[in-house]
Amino acid sequence: MTVADDIAVAADSHRHELLAYCYRMTGSLHDAEDLVQETTVRAWRAAASYDPHRASVRTWLYRIATNLCLTALQHAERRVLPTDMSEPTGIWQVGVHPRRPEIPWLQPFPDSEPGDPAGTVAARDTIRLAFVSALQHLSPNQRAVLVLRDVLMFRAAETAELLELTPAAVNSALLRARARLAEIGPAAADSELSDTEQRHFLDRYVKAFEALDVETLKSVLRDDVVMQMPPFAAWFEGVDAVSAFLAEVFGASAEFRLLSTRANGQPAFGAYRPESTGSCAVNLHIPTLTADGISRIDIFHAPELFPAFGLPVRLP
């Protein structure tokens, strides 16, 4: 094998963690996939210039990926969720809400592959929607420093060389990023629920949606539950507002069918609505579970993303 072939094999072995890194940086699955593809191409083309005495292949790949991310973010709009944009929608506003496809919405991310370092409990916490959404409030450089240092555990000297900064500049940027993240305040993830505890809530959630049963659904929601549904800008806070909106949805629907998957380190479901020729993909549900019930429901109306989560676009 040539050096270029070795680099291509190494890039493939690190693909998923690079994808998670680019996703944390951009908030977009589509952009992350493009950036990782470009990272592989550039690494392959520059294989002859790689010096194993200066950095590991992994560090070298992260340097290429970081430069591509920072360039892409120079003129990009910040990815957002509805909760970033406005106050919650009131119960009296549960009627029809327009889609806002022109807004650069944060996208969900498929779970890591078995054995991938991005699949550890600690790493899952840093891929959750609340954390990734908070990252988007940082400057691109602060975002890179925080993810490299606090998530991927690069040393300060490594990060400095990778970003072509001094160690002092890296440490300063890290302190500012941590302080900003503390201000935004993404809630710390609750301790991991057991499989039995998860099933207690998830089974009832699925049965309630498939049966269009608002009362059963209310029984698994926390009083302070939040629900948002990009590309709709409206969002709802509190069990009364969420259940009032879902009552409107259920009243206009024949039925739903939910298939399980995983997204952003959490259990997730693809929802399908029946048509004359089968069932078509409608949206992706990511409920956030706590010991007290479901605290948050993120529903992404993006059926084009279903294949990335191992879900078909249509069911027979």
Sign of CA dihedral 43, 45, 47, 51: negative
At 150, list the tokens: 């606090």
The answer on 20 and 49 residing in a single domain is yes
Does any domain span residue 85? no
Beta strands in the chain (DSSP E): 221-229, 232-237, 257-263, 266-275, 278-290, 293-300, 314-315
The answer on 220 and 157 residing in a single domain is no
- Structural domain including 175 reads 129-188
The pTM of the full predicted model, rounded to 2 decimals, is: 0.92
Q: Does residue 124 or residue 123 have the better pLDDT?
A: 124
> Where does the pLDDT of residue 1 fall: very low under 50, low under 70, confident under 90, or very high at 90 and above?
low
The answer on 71 and 3 residing in a single domain is yes
Going by their DSSP bridges, the two strands 278-290 and 293-300 should be labelled as antiparallel
Report residue 146 CA to chain centroid gap.
17
- Report the chain's terminal Cα–Cα distance, integer Å: 45
- pLDDT tens, position by position, 26-55: 999 999 999 999 999 999 888 888 888 888
End-of-domain residue from the set 164, 188, 212: 188
- pLDDT tens, position by position, 281-300: 999 999 999 999 999 999 99
Give the CATH number for residue 148: 1.10.10.10
Q: Do the beta carbons of residue 281 and residue 312 sit within 8 Å?
A: yes
The answer on 301 and 217 residing in a single domain is yes
Task: Tell me how many domains the chain contains.
Answer: 3
- Among 112, 130, 110, 129, which Cα is nearest to 121's? 112
pLDDT at residue 243 is higher than 60: yes
The answer on 201 and 310 residing in a single domain is yes
Q: Do the beta carbons of residue 259 and residue 270 sit within 8 Å?
A: yes
Residues 6+ apart with CB under 8 A from 53: none
- ω into residue 231 within 30 of 0, thus cis? yes
The H or E element containing residue 167 is helix 167-184
**Residue tagged 């969420």 (tokens):** 242
| pLDDT value for 254 | 73
| pLDDT value for 32 | 97
> Where does the pLDDT of residue 311 fall: very low under 50, low under 70, confident under 90, or very high at 90 and above?
very high
pLDDT at residue 10 is higher than 50: yes
The answer on 307 and 239 residing in a single domain is yes
pLDDT at residue 114 is higher than 70: no
Report residue 135 CA to chain centroid gap.
11
> Where does the pLDDT of residue 174 fall: very low under 50, low under 70, confident under 90, or very high at 90 and above?
very high
pLDDT at residue 186 is higher than 80: no
| pLDDT value for 255 | 85
- Among 275, 289, 238, which Cα is nearest to 124's? 289
| pLDDT value for 50 | 83
Mean pLDDT of the chain, nearest integer: 90
The answer on 270 and 175 residing in a single domain is no
Does any domain span residue 93? no
Give the CATH number for residue 67: 1.10.1740.10
- CA 251/CA 127 separation, integer angstroms: 34
Sign of CA dihedral 61, 62, 65, 70: negative
The answer on 283 and 231 residing in a single domain is yes
- pLDDT tens, position by position, 259-273: 999 999 999 999 999
> Per-residue DSSP letters for 184-244?
H-PPPPPPPPPHHHHHHHHHHHHHHHHHT-HHHHHTTEEEEEEEEETTEEEEEESHHHHHH
Does any domain span residue 232? yes
Give the CATH number for residue 210: 3.10.450.50
Nearest-5° Cα angle at 236, 306 to 305: 10
Q: Do the beta carbons of residue 109 and residue 23 sit within 8 Å?
A: yes
Q: Do the beta carbons of residue 162 and residue 154 sit within 8 Å?
A: yes
- CA 31/CA 200 separation, integer angstroms: 36
pLDDT at residue 115 is higher than 50: no
Average pLDDT over residues 72-100: 86
pLDDT at residue 117 is higher than 50: no
At 230, list the tokens: 């990009």
| pLDDT value for 112 | 60
Q: Does residue 274 or residue 185 have the better pLDDT?
A: 274
- Among 219, 24, 278, which Cα is nearest to 133's? 24
